[in-house]
Amino acid sequence: MKKVIATSAAPAAIGPYSQGIEADGLTGLVFVSGQLPIDPATGEIVPGGVSEQTGRSLENVKAVVESAGLTLADVVKTTVYLKNMDDFAAMNAVYASYFTKNCPARAAVEVARLPKDALVEIEAVACRV
């Protein structure tokens, strides 16, 4: 059984997908779709570079996770998609301010292009224990 997770505190889906899905049969795993650095109030990519965009993407991840009744402390896995791997250190500095202990497993990969020409997109998996 799956439950759709949706919140106005994160950008609406820009395609045929949900912001998040909770899979009850899998010990309450919550899968958060890739979150672009879109300000939910304006629908636009936030101004600035990869640091500002990473912060906004993580705020969007946080909003979806919290909509499911969890916190970032419940995140067990993230994947960070970067337009340019040279931005890794700047992204990582912001990321480290959101995940300070018992950090989730993570992969970071460079991609050719992201939707809306974003510099970063972050997806996550959280677990309800």
pLDDT of residue 26: 59
User: What is the reported pTM?
Assistant: 0.94
| Distance in angstroms (rounded) separating the CA atoms of residues 37 and 50 | 9
Per-residue pLDDT of the chain (129 residues; tens, 9 = 90+): 789 999 999 999 888 999 999 987 656 899 999 999 999 999 999 999 999 999 999 999 999 999 999 999 999 999 999 999 999 999 999 999 999 999 999 999 999 999 999 999 999 999 987
pLDDT of residue 129: 76
Domains held by the chain: number: 1
* Residue 30, domain extent: 2-127
CATH number of 80's domain: 3.30.1330.40
Distances in Å between the Cα of 18 and the Cα atoms of 10, 15, 31, 54 are 11, 8, 10, 21
